[in-house]
A and B are shown apart, each in its own frame.
Chain A
Amino acid sequence: MTNTGVERRRPPNVEFRYLTPAGRRPTQYEEVTLHTQWSPRNFAAQGWFSPGSNGRPMWSEDSTRLRALDWWAYRDPAQLWFRPYVELQARQEEAIELAVEGAKQSGLFAEFAPVWRRILSHYYAAYRYVEYGLFLCFCYVQREALSDVVATPLVFEGLDKDRHAQAIALYCMDLEESLPDFSDRAAERVWLEDPVYQPTREYIERLLACRDWGEITIAVNLIFEALAAPMFGQEFLARFAAHHGDSVTPVILATAEADRRRSRGATVELLRFLMREDPANATVAQQWLSQWTPLAARAAHAFAPLFEMTDEKPVNFIEAWQRVSAAWAAQIQQLGLEAPRIEVMPQ
C-alpha cells in the first residue's frame, strides 16, 4: 500500500496513550476495560449531559461514602474480562454437570442418607434465595460503581450469584428425578419462616435497602461471605456431605466457594486501594464493619441447629465458628482495620 502517506509498518509496541498500566506494559484486561466508563473525572470535559429526575448524573460520586482521587487506578487481582470469565464459568458448570451425570449413572444419589436428603431439600434448597438476594444487590451495585475497573468484578459477582441460585434449583430437580420422595417444595417456607434462616434473610433484605454500593460490597464480601456463608456452605454442608453419602453437593459448593474467594480478593484489593487513595475510607469501612458484623454473626449462629440435626457430626458448631471467625478477624486485621469483637449470642 503506497497511497497513505506513511510507510507501511507494523507497530508492535503501539499502546493506548490514555491508560496507565499497573505494570510495565498494559495487559489485555486493562486495554479492554479501562475508560469504557466515562466521567468528567476522566475525559468527558463537557460534563454530564443528562441528569435523572432526581438530579443525579448517570454516575454520581454521592453513590457511596468511599472516596478516590482516581477510580480508574484500581485493578482486579484476577484481571478478569468477559472471555476468561465465561471460560472459567463454563468449566465450573461442566464440572457440575459431570458430577451430577456421573452420580445419576452410578446410582450414587441412592446413597444419600435420609436425614441428608431432608437437609438438602429444606436447607440447601432454601439457600438459593440467599444467592438470589445477593444477585439483586449486585444488580444495583454494578450500576452505581464509579469506574469500569471497579464495576467489572461486581458485574461478574452478580452473575456468579445468579449462577449459584440456578445451580441449586437445577440440582434439586436432578435429585427429584433420582430420588422419588425428594422435593424442594418446602424451601420457600424455610426461607421465609424457619429460624435457621431469619437472621440471614434480615441481612439480605437490609442489603437490598442499602443505597451505598461500596457499603453493600463490603458488607457482602468482607462480612457476610466471610463470616456467615462459610458456616453454612463450607463448615456444615461440605464437611457433613461425605459423611452422609453425598459426593456431589461438595462439587457444586466448591464452584460457589471459588467464586466467593475471587470476589473477596477483588474487594480486599478494592479496600486496600481505597485506603491508599484516602485514609478516611478506613474510618468509613470501620463503621460499616461495626454496623454489619453483629448481624452477620447472628446469621452465622442461626445455622448452629443444623450441626445438631445429624447423628454423624464431623465438626461441631463452636469449633467451626472459632475457625471461621478467627480467619475472618485475621483478614480484617491484615487490612489494618479492627475486627469488631463478636458477642456470641445465646441461641
Chain B
Amino acid sequence: MARSLTKAYERVKNIDWEPSYISAADKYVEATRFYLPKKALDPFKTFIREYFLMEREKESRHYALLEAASRLQGSNPEPRWMEGMKFALSNLSAIEYSAGRQMGRMARVVAPMELRQGYMMQVLDEMRHTQLELNALRHHMRSWQDPSGYDIALKAAGNSVGAGIFRALAEDFSTCDAVETSLGLQVLIETAYSNIFFVGLSSAAAQSGDQVMASTMLTIQSDESRHMANGYATLMTLLQDDRNIPLIQEAFDKWSWRGHMGFEVGLSLFADYFVKHKTESAREMSQRWLLDDFYGGFYKKLAKYGIKEPRWLPDVIRNSEWASHTAAVYLFGAWPVFYHRYDPIDEREMEWFEKKYPGWYSHYGKFWEAYQQMTDADAGMLVTKELGGLPAFCQVCQLPWIFPRPDASTGSTIEREGRTIAFCSPACKSIFENDPNHYSGFKTFYDLYDGWDLADVIVDLGYVREDGKTLMAQPVLEPRRMWTVDDIRRCRYEVTSPLRKTAGVSAGGSPHSAVP
C-alpha cells in the first residue's frame, strides 16, 4: 500500500460519534471508575485487512507443521510431559477463550478509538489461541498412546477442583471494572508472564519432544506483543489523568498477586515437575523474566508517575521460592481427583531440586518418600489419606491453603455469614475483604463432596476410563496394575472438609493439620 499509514489510520479510526437518539451512557453500556481522556495513545497501527493477511500466513505455517506431525508420527515425546499436557491444555484454552470475550466489553466501555481497535484485534487473537491449543490437544489425543484424559478435556476444565484456579482468575478479570481488566489481564498477566509462559513453556515442550506444543506456543507468542501493546497503551492513556494513580495502584496491588497465584504458580509447577530433562528452574525463570525484566524494568519506570511497588510483591517473591514444590504436593498428593498419569521425581531430580532450591529436601523430601511408597494399587495405601487428607481451598485463588510451604503456611480462616472461609495468604484475604461479594456465591469442593467416599467423587467427576472403573489418573506412568475405583474404595477415604473437622474448636482449623 502506497498511502501513508499514519494518515490512513487516522482516517479509519476517526469514526466515533456522539449519539442523539440515545444517551452517551447508553452507548457505553457500563461505567468505569477510571477517568478516560478523549485522546488515547495508539497501541499499534494495523488495519483489519493486514491482520487477515498476516494471520492467514501464520496459520498456514503452523498447521503445516501440525499436519506433518500427524502424518509422520515420528517423534518420541516424554511421557511425563504428554501426561501433564492433559491438565495444562484443557485449562489453558478456557482462559484464552474468556479473555477474548472480554475484549468486546472493553471496546464498548473504553471510549478512545485508538484502544478500541486494538482490543478488537485481540478478540480474534484469543479465539485463535483457544483453537490452536484445542487443535494441539486434539492432535495429542489422537497421537499419544494414552488418550484417556485428553478425551474429557473441556469437561475437566469445568469440573476439576484444580481447574477452579484458572476459572476463578478468568471470572475475576471478566467481571471486574472493564478498565481494570486491561490492567490486570494485559499488563499484570500478559506482559508480566508472556516470556515465562510462551518462551519458557515452548522450550520446555521442545526439550520434551513435543514439537506441536512448541510451535503452538511460539505462534501464539507472535500475537502477544499486540496484547502487551494494548495494556501499555491503556496504562499510558490512564496516566494522563492524576486521579487515576490511586486506582491504578489498587489494581496493580491486586493483580500482581492474582497473576502470581492464578497463573505463575501453575507455570512454575509445569516448568519444575513436568519437564524431565531440566535446565532452568522455575525460580530462575521468575527471577529473570518477572522480577528483573518486568518488575525491575517495565514496572519500575512507572515510579515517575507515582506508581509504587505492588503491595504484595514481597509475598510474591517469598512465595516464588517454594511455589512449584507446594503446588506439586497438592497435584501429586491429590492425584486421584485429576485426569492424567504422574511420573514421580527420581533421585537425580531430587539432587537437582536441592541444588536449585537449597533446603528443598528438608521441606519436601518426606512427601516424596511417602508418595513413592504408595503407588501400588495392590498395597491400597492412598497418599492423600495417609498424609492427612485433602486441604481446604482459598476462597479467592482456589489454591490449597498450604502456601508458601506446607510446613510454614500463611493460610487462615474467617467466619462470614455462618460459614468458615479459608484463605491461602494475607494477600488473598485482603483482596476478599475489599470486595467480598465478588468472591462469593460458588460451591467449594467440600460443598459438593464433604462426607463422600473418594471413589464416588471420582465416578461423579467422570474421571474413569471407558471400562467404567479404571481411573484416568495413575500415580506412576507405568503401574504394575492400573488403579480402579474399587482400589480407591478399599482405601476407605471419606472426603472431609478440614474446616468441618475443627469447626468450633479454633478459628476454623489450621492448614498445618492437613499436610505432612
Bind each other: yes
| Binary contact track B427-450/A, C-beta < 8 Å → 1, others 0 | 000000000011111111101100
Indicate if B171 sits at the interface (CB-CB under 8 A). yes
Among candidates B17, B135, B146, B474, residue contacting A129 with C-beta atoms closer than 8 Å? B17
Indicate if B131 sits at the interface (CB-CB under 8 A). yes
Measured CB to CB, the residues of B under 8 A from A are 2-3, 7-8, 11-12, 15-17, 19-23, 26-27, 29, 47-49, 52-53, 55-56, 59, 63, 73, 76, 79, 93-94, 97-98, 100-102, 104-105, 107-108, 117, 120, 123-124, 127-128, 130-131, 134-135, 138, 141-143, 145-147, 150-159, 164, 167-168, 170-172, 174-177, 341, 398, 437-445, 447-448, 474, 477-479, 482
Q: Tell whether, in the assembled complex, residue B130 and residue A36 are in contact, meaning their CB atoms are under 8 Å apart.
A: yes
Given known pairs A44-B158, A58-B98, A173-B8, the reply for A86 and B21 (CB within 8 Å) is no
Among candidates A51, A97, A192, A205, residue contacting B175 with C-beta atoms closer than 8 Å? A51
Most buried by B among A38, A158, A159, A170: A38
Which residues on A sit within 8 Å (CB–CB) of B447?
46
Q: Tell whether, in the assembled complex, residue B142 and residue A163 are in contact, meaning their CB atoms are under 8 Å apart.
A: no
| Binary contact track A41-56/B, C-beta < 8 Å → 1, others 0 | 0111111111111011
A172 to chain B, nearest CB (A): 8
* Docked complex Cα distance between A141 and B26 (Å): 14
Given known pairs A4-B79, A35-B155, the reply for A159 and B22 (CB within 8 Å) is no
A-B residue pairs, 6 tightest by C-beta:
A43-B158, A52-B175, A18-B155, A139-B104, A209-B26, A50-B171
A264 to chain B, nearest CB (A): 21
- Other 17 A-B pairs with CB < 8 A, given A36-B154, A142-B104, A201-B21: A45-B448, A48-B171, A49-B171, A51-B437, A52-B175, A57-B175, A58-B98, A58-B171, A86-B52, A89-B52, A93-B52, A93-B53, A129-B17, A143-B101, A155-B100, A166-B49, A209-B27
Among candidates B47, B141, B477, residue contacting A170 with C-beta atoms closer than 8 Å? B47
Q: Tell whether, in the assembled complex, residue A5 and residue B482 are in contact, meaning their CB atoms are under 8 Å apart.
A: yes
Q: Which residue of A lies closest to B96 (CB)?
A: A36
Q: Tell whether, in the assembled complex, residue A158 and residue B123 are in contact, meaning their CB atoms are under 8 Å apart.
A: yes
Q: Tell whether, in the assembled complex, residue B123 and residue A159 are in contact, meaning their CB atoms are under 8 Å apart.
A: yes
Among candidates A12, A43, A177, residue contacting B142 with C-beta atoms closer than 8 Å? A12
Q: Tell whether, in the assembled complex, residue A140 and residue B171 are in contact, meaning their CB atoms are under 8 Å apart.
A: no
Q: Which residue of A lies closest to B82 (CB)?
A: A4
Which residues on A sit within 8 Å (CB–CB) of B97?
36-37, 148
Among candidates B48, B100, B437, B478, residue contacting A55 with C-beta atoms closer than 8 Å? B437
Q: Tell whether, in the assembled complex, residue B47 and residue A8 are in contact, meaning their CB atoms are under 8 Å apart.
A: no
Q: Tell whether, in the assembled complex, residue A86 and residue B56 are in contact, meaning their CB atoms are under 8 Å apart.
A: yes
Q: Tell whether, in the assembled complex, residue B127 and residue A58 are in contact, meaning their CB atoms are under 8 Å apart.
A: no
B interface SS class: helix
Q: Tell whether, in the assembled complex, residue B442 and residue A38 are in contact, meaning their CB atoms are under 8 Å apart.
A: no
Given known pairs A43-B155, A166-B49, A208-B22, the reply for A1 and B120 (CB within 8 Å) is no
Q: Which residue of B lies closest to A35 (CB)?
A: B154
B460 to chain A, nearest CB (A): 9
Given known pairs A16-B141, A170-B47, the reply for A49 and B153 (CB within 8 Å) is no
A255 to chain B, nearest CB (A): 11
* Docked complex Cα distance between A8 and B154 (Å): 25
Q: Tell whether, in the assembled complex, residue B171 and residue A208 are in contact, meaning their CB atoms are under 8 Å apart.
A: no
**Can you list 12 A-B pairs, Cβ within 8 angstroms, ordered by A?**
A4-B145, A4-B146, A5-B479, A10-B73, A11-B147, A46-B164, A48-B441, A49-B171, A50-B175, A50-B176, A132-B16, A209-B22
* Docked complex Cα distance between A14 and B123 (Å): 31
| Binary contact track A131-166/B, C-beta < 8 Å → 1, others 0 | 010011011111100001001100100110011011
A161 to chain B, nearest CB (A): 10
Indicate if A188 sits at the interface (CB-CB under 8 A). yes
Which residues on B sit within 8 Å (CB–CB) of A312?
none
Given known pairs A3-B478, A83-B131, the reply for A166 and B56 (CB within 8 Å) is no
Which residues on A sit within 8 Å (CB–CB) of B174?
50, 58
A199 to chain B, nearest CB (A): 10
Indicate if A319 sits at the interface (CB-CB under 8 A). no
Which residues on B sit within 8 Å (CB–CB) of A18?
152-155
Q: Tell whether, in the assembled complex, residue B21 and residue A202 are in contact, meaning their CB atoms are under 8 Å apart.
A: yes
Given known pairs A50-B175, A51-B437, the reply for A136 and B145 (CB within 8 Å) is no
Which residues on B sit within 8 Å (CB–CB) of A172?
11
Which residues on A sit within 8 Å (CB–CB) of B48?
89, 159, 162-163, 166
Q: A residues 156-202 with Cβ under 8 Å of B?
A: 158-159, 162-163, 165-167, 169-170, 172-174, 177, 188, 191-192, 201-202
* Docked complex Cα distance between A129 and B15 (Å): 7
Q: Tell whether, in the assembled complex, residue A170 and residue B8 are in contact, meaning their CB atoms are under 8 Å apart.
A: yes
Which residues on A sit within 8 Å (CB–CB) of B442?
46-49
| Binary contact track A83-95/B, C-beta < 8 Å → 1, others 0 | 1001101100110
Q: Tell whether, in the assembled complex, residue B29 and residue A38 are in contact, meaning their CB atoms are under 8 Å apart.
A: no
B345 to chain A, nearest CB (A): 16
* Docked complex Cα distance between A155 and B128 (Å): 12
* Docked complex Cα distance between A89 and B15 (Å): 22
Which residues on A sit within 8 Å (CB–CB) of B15?
128-129, 132, 165, 169
* Docked complex Cα distance between A169 and B113 (Å): 15
Which residues on B sit within 8 Å (CB–CB) of A28?
135, 138
